[in-house]
Amino acid sequence: NAGVTQTPKFRVLKTGQSMTLLCAQDMNHEYMYWYRQDPGMGLRLIHYSVGEGTTAKGEVPDGYNVSRLKKQNFLLGLESAAPSQTSVYFCASSYPRGGRAYNEQFFGPGTRLTVL
Amino acid sequence: AQTVTQSQPEMSVQEAETVTLSCTYDTSESNYYLFWYKQPPSRQMILVIRQEAYKQQNATENRFSVNFQKAAKSFSLKISDSQLGDTAMYFCAFWGGSNYKLTFGKGTLLTVNP
Protein backbone atom coordinates (compact mmCIF):
# COMPACT_ATOMS: atom_id res chain seq x y z
CA ASN A 1 0.00 0.00 0.00
CA ALA A 2 1.96 3.00 -1.31
CA GLY A 3 -0.64 5.62 -0.33
CA VAL A 4 -0.32 8.76 -2.47
CA THR A 5 2.59 8.97 -4.87
CA GLN A 6 3.71 11.84 -7.08
CA THR A 7 5.84 11.81 -10.21
CA PRO A 8 8.31 13.43 -10.66
CA LYS A 9 9.82 14.59 -7.35
CA PHE A 10 11.82 17.40 -8.93
CA ARG A 11 11.68 19.19 -12.25
CA VAL A 12 13.24 22.23 -13.85
CA LEU A 13 11.46 23.83 -16.80
CA LYS A 14 12.16 26.75 -19.06
CA THR A 15 9.52 29.43 -19.51
CA GLY A 16 6.97 28.31 -22.07
CA GLN A 17 7.58 24.59 -21.73
CA SER A 18 4.80 22.23 -20.80
CA MET A 19 4.68 19.33 -18.40
CA THR A 20 2.33 17.02 -16.54
CA LEU A 21 2.52 16.04 -12.90
CA LEU A 22 1.08 12.67 -12.05
CA CYS A 23 -0.62 11.79 -8.78
CA ALA A 24 -1.62 8.23 -8.02
CA GLN A 25 -3.39 6.75 -5.00
CA ASP A 26 -4.09 3.13 -4.18
CA MET A 27 -6.61 3.69 -1.37
CA ASN A 28 -9.72 3.77 -3.58
CA HIS A 29 -10.33 7.38 -2.54
CA GLU A 30 -13.04 9.34 -4.32
CA TYR A 31 -11.66 12.82 -3.83
CA MET A 32 -8.33 14.12 -5.05
CA TYR A 33 -6.69 17.52 -4.80
CA TRP A 34 -3.79 19.53 -6.16
CA TYR A 35 -2.20 22.21 -3.97
CA ARG A 36 0.71 24.51 -4.38
CA GLN A 37 2.88 25.63 -1.48
CA ASP A 38 4.79 28.89 -1.57
CA PRO A 39 6.82 30.46 1.23
CA GLY A 40 4.60 32.40 3.62
CA MET A 41 1.42 31.37 1.78
CA GLY A 42 0.53 27.99 3.21
CA LEU A 43 -1.11 25.51 0.86
CA ARG A 44 -3.49 26.81 -1.76
CA LEU A 45 -5.89 24.63 -3.70
CA ILE A 46 -5.41 24.61 -7.47
CA HIS A 47 -8.00 22.09 -8.67
CA TYR A 48 -9.83 19.18 -7.17
CA SER A 49 -11.93 16.20 -8.20
CA VAL A 50 -14.84 14.55 -6.44
CA GLY A 51 -14.85 11.51 -8.66
CA GLU A 52 -13.65 9.91 -11.86
CA GLY A 53 -14.31 12.15 -14.83
CA THR A 54 -15.07 15.26 -12.74
CA THR A 55 -12.88 18.24 -11.90
CA ALA A 56 -13.41 21.65 -10.37
CA LYS A 57 -11.44 24.84 -9.86
CA GLY A 58 -9.91 25.72 -6.55
CA GLU A 59 -8.45 28.94 -5.26
CA VAL A 60 -5.64 29.43 -7.80
CA PRO A 61 -6.53 27.55 -11.02
CA ASP A 62 -5.14 29.93 -13.66
CA GLY A 63 -2.39 28.44 -15.81
CA TYR A 64 -3.20 24.85 -14.84
CA ASN A 65 -5.40 22.10 -16.22
CA VAL A 66 -6.32 18.77 -14.70
CA SER A 67 -7.80 15.45 -15.70
CA ARG A 68 -9.21 12.51 -13.76
CA LEU A 69 -9.71 9.79 -16.36
CA LYS A 70 -9.13 7.02 -13.86
CA LYS A 71 -10.21 7.01 -10.25
CA GLN A 72 -6.72 6.39 -8.96
CA ASN A 73 -4.96 9.08 -11.00
CA PHE A 74 -5.15 12.85 -11.00
CA LEU A 75 -3.01 14.73 -13.51
CA LEU A 76 -1.95 18.37 -13.26
CA GLY A 77 -0.83 20.03 -16.47
CA LEU A 78 1.06 23.21 -17.14
CA GLU A 79 0.61 24.14 -20.81
CA SER A 80 3.04 27.06 -20.87
CA ALA A 81 5.10 27.28 -17.71
CA ALA A 82 5.86 30.66 -16.16
CA PRO A 83 8.34 31.61 -13.41
CA SER A 84 5.34 32.40 -11.15
CA GLN A 85 4.56 28.68 -11.19
CA THR A 86 7.80 27.86 -9.41
CA SER A 87 6.51 26.11 -6.31
CA VAL A 88 6.14 22.86 -4.45
CA TYR A 89 3.09 20.93 -5.61
CA PHE A 90 1.22 18.53 -3.39
CA CYS A 91 -1.42 16.02 -4.29
CA ALA A 92 -3.86 14.70 -1.71
CA SER A 93 -6.74 12.29 -1.60
CA SER A 94 -9.61 11.54 0.75
CA TYR A 95 -12.68 9.37 1.05
CA PRO A 96 -16.03 10.95 1.80
CA ARG A 97 -17.50 9.32 4.85
CA GLY A 98 -21.24 9.48 5.33
CA GLY A 99 -21.75 11.42 2.13
CA ARG A 100 -19.70 14.34 3.33
CA ALA A 101 -16.41 15.32 1.78
CA TYR A 102 -14.56 15.28 5.02
CA ASN A 103 -12.19 12.60 5.86
CA GLU A 104 -8.51 12.82 6.51
CA GLN A 105 -6.63 14.05 3.49
CA PHE A 106 -3.59 11.94 2.70
CA PHE A 107 -0.79 13.85 1.05
CA GLY A 108 1.83 12.82 -1.44
CA PRO A 109 5.52 13.69 -0.92
CA GLY A 110 5.39 16.76 -3.14
CA THR A 111 7.02 17.85 -6.40
CA ARG A 112 9.46 20.72 -6.45
CA LEU A 113 9.10 22.60 -9.73
CA THR A 114 11.38 25.39 -10.84
CA VAL A 115 10.57 27.46 -13.90
CA LEU A 116 13.48 29.46 -15.26
CA ALA B 1 -15.54 32.16 2.56
CA GLN B 2 -13.56 30.71 5.39
CA THR B 3 -10.26 32.17 6.52
CA VAL B 4 -7.60 30.73 8.78
CA THR B 5 -5.07 32.95 10.53
CA GLN B 6 -1.85 31.89 12.19
CA SER B 7 -0.37 34.98 13.78
CA GLN B 8 3.01 33.50 14.73
CA PRO B 9 5.25 33.01 11.69
CA GLU B 10 8.03 31.53 13.83
CA MET B 11 8.40 30.18 17.33
CA SER B 12 11.09 28.40 19.28
CA VAL B 13 11.08 26.27 22.41
CA GLN B 14 13.61 24.40 24.49
CA GLU B 15 13.57 20.65 24.44
CA ALA B 16 11.21 19.16 27.09
CA GLU B 17 9.28 22.41 27.49
CA THR B 18 5.71 23.19 26.42
CA VAL B 19 4.74 25.43 23.54
CA THR B 20 1.40 26.66 22.23
CA LEU B 21 0.72 27.58 18.61
CA SER B 22 -2.19 29.88 17.86
CA CYS B 23 -4.85 29.67 15.17
CA THR B 24 -8.02 31.63 14.62
CA TYR B 25 -10.61 31.14 11.92
CA ASP B 26 -13.65 32.79 10.52
CA THR B 27 -16.70 30.93 9.27
CA SER B 28 -20.47 31.03 9.16
CA GLU B 29 -20.72 27.26 9.14
CA SER B 30 -22.17 25.54 12.19
CA ASN B 31 -20.56 22.17 11.63
CA TYR B 32 -16.94 21.92 10.62
CA TYR B 33 -13.61 20.30 11.35
CA LEU B 34 -10.29 21.79 12.36
CA PHE B 35 -6.88 20.24 11.91
CA TRP B 36 -3.25 20.72 12.69
CA TYR B 37 -0.79 19.40 10.14
CA LYS B 38 2.95 19.07 10.65
CA GLN B 39 5.45 19.47 7.83
CA PRO B 40 9.00 18.47 8.83
CA PRO B 41 12.02 19.22 6.64
CA SER B 42 11.21 16.07 4.67
CA ARG B 43 8.28 18.07 3.28
CA GLN B 44 5.74 15.34 4.03
CA MET B 45 2.40 16.62 5.36
CA ILE B 46 1.42 14.73 8.50
CA LEU B 47 -1.90 15.04 10.30
CA VAL B 48 -1.24 15.78 13.96
CA ILE B 49 -4.70 16.21 15.43
CA ARG B 50 -8.31 16.75 14.43
CA GLN B 51 -11.20 18.47 16.19
CA GLU B 52 -14.86 18.18 15.24
CA ALA B 53 -16.70 21.39 16.00
CA TYR B 54 -19.76 19.74 17.50
CA LYS B 55 -17.60 18.00 20.12
CA GLN B 56 -16.98 20.17 23.15
CA GLN B 57 -14.17 18.01 24.46
CA ASN B 58 -10.72 19.08 23.31
CA ALA B 59 -8.88 16.53 21.20
CA THR B 60 -5.63 15.02 22.45
CA GLU B 61 -3.04 12.81 20.78
CA ASN B 62 -0.22 11.82 23.12
CA ARG B 63 1.85 14.99 23.67
CA PHE B 64 -0.37 17.07 21.39
CA SER B 65 -3.59 18.68 22.56
CA VAL B 66 -5.82 21.48 21.40
CA ASN B 67 -7.69 24.29 23.09
CA PHE B 68 -10.82 24.69 21.02
CA GLN B 69 -12.84 27.82 21.81
CA LYS B 70 -15.78 27.72 19.41
CA ALA B 71 -17.34 31.03 20.39
CA ALA B 72 -14.00 32.80 20.03
CA LYS B 73 -13.20 30.83 16.85
CA SER B 74 -9.85 29.86 18.26
CA PHE B 75 -8.00 26.58 17.86
CA SER B 76 -4.57 26.46 19.48
CA LEU B 77 -2.15 23.53 19.55
CA LYS B 78 -0.21 22.68 22.68
CA ILE B 79 2.88 20.51 22.42
CA SER B 80 4.07 19.13 25.73
CA ASP B 81 7.54 17.76 26.45
CA SER B 82 8.84 19.14 23.15
CA GLN B 83 11.25 16.93 21.26
CA LEU B 84 13.82 17.76 18.61
CA GLY B 85 11.71 15.82 16.11
CA ASP B 86 8.88 18.29 16.63
CA THR B 87 10.86 20.87 14.67
CA ALA B 88 8.64 21.55 11.66
CA MET B 89 6.23 23.89 9.99
CA TYR B 90 2.77 23.57 11.53
CA PHE B 91 -0.37 24.38 9.58
CA CYS B 92 -3.82 24.97 10.96
CA ALA B 93 -6.59 23.96 8.54
CA PHE B 94 -10.36 24.27 8.35
CA TRP B 95 -12.93 22.13 6.59
CA GLY B 96 -16.59 22.99 6.55
CA GLY B 97 -19.67 23.04 4.43
CA SER B 98 -19.99 21.39 1.06
CA ASN B 99 -17.04 22.90 -0.73
CA TYR B 100 -14.95 19.75 -0.36
CA LYS B 101 -11.75 21.56 0.43
CA LEU B 102 -9.39 22.38 3.26
CA THR B 103 -8.44 25.99 3.92
CA PHE B 104 -4.94 26.33 5.35
CA GLY B 105 -3.31 29.01 7.42
CA LYS B 106 0.08 30.32 6.39
CA GLY B 107 1.92 28.22 8.90
CA THR B 108 4.10 28.56 11.99
CA LEU B 109 7.71 27.42 11.87
CA LEU B 110 8.54 25.76 15.18
CA THR B 111 12.13 25.13 16.17
CA VAL B 112 12.92 22.94 19.16
CA ASN B 113 16.32 23.75 20.59
CA PRO B 114 18.48 21.24 22.52
pLDDT, tens digit, 9 for 90 and up, residues A61-82:
999 999 999 999 999 999 999 9
pLDDT-derived band at A1, boundaries 50, 70, 90? confident
Nearest to B92 by CA among B42, B40, B33, B44: B33
- pLDDT tens figures, B42-83: 999 999 999 988 888 999 999 999 999 999 999 999 999 999
What is the SS3 string spanning A30-56?
Answer: CEEEEEEEECCCEEEEEEEEEECCEEE
Residue B45 touches chain A, beta carbons under 8 Å: yes
**Mean per-residue pLDDT of chain B:** 93
- Over residues A18-40, the mean pLDDT reads 94
- pLDDT tens figures, B28-45: 888 889 999 999 999 999
Residue B27 touches chain A, beta carbons under 8 Å: no
- pLDDT tens figures, A46-57: 999 989 999 999
To the nearest whole angstrom, how far is the Cα of B55 from the nearest Cα of chain A? 16
Q: What are the chain B neighbours of A58 within 8 Å (beta carbons)? A: 101
A17: phi then psi, degrees, rounded to nearest 5? -75, 160
**Mean per-residue pLDDT of chain A:** 92
